[in-house]
Amino acid sequence: MEKILRKLRSAIEVKLNSHLTKLTLKNKFEKWAVIFVSVSDEFSDFFEESFVARRNPDVMGIRLIIDFNAFSKGSEMEKMHLMIKTLHRSVEKMAMPKFKISEEEREKLNEIINTVEKELELEIN
């Protein structure tokens, strides 16, 4: 399962970053770090979702949990969709005042995520 998580994360990251280079956000963050956590229920108490704004380096760090059962049993396409859904959740979390991401900027980020999803659907099929 870890291998497919790395493969999908890498594919998403490459495509996402290629689109993000065309977007300028008004805040001073240089990186958007989304950490996907997929652990079984017996270990879920040890991994909480977190939302960190670091100033040195300028990183928005967002750690979100993916449903372990759905991820472990899903096809590659279903796993990709779970990860994309998690990216959309991370954009929702950017509404927090510490991230200083406007609604308009969040809409643009969601559009980019939707584009990446469509590109990956074509590659996986």
How would you write the chain as a 3-class SS string?
Answer: CHHHHHHHHHHHHHHHHHHHCCCCCCCCCCEEEEEEECCCHHHHHHCCCEEEEEECCEEEEEEEECCHHHHHHCCHHHHHHHHHHHHHHHHHHCCCCCCCCCHHHHHHHHHHHHHHHHHHHHHHC
Give pLDDT tens digits along the chain (125 positions). Answer: 678 888 888 899 888 888 888 888 787 666 777 778 777 777 777 777 777 766 556 777 788 888 888 998 999 999 999 999 999 999 998 898 888 889 999 999 999 999 999 999 999 87
Peptide bond before residue 57 is cis, with ω within 30 degrees of 0: yes
Query: In angstroms, rounded to a whole number, what is the distance separating the alpha carbons of residues 84 and 12?
Result: 8
Q: Where are the domains of the chain?
A: 2-119
pTM of the full predicted structure? 0.84
Cα–Cα distances in angstroms (integers) from residue 56 to residues 39, 52, 61, 102, in the given order? 29, 12, 12, 22
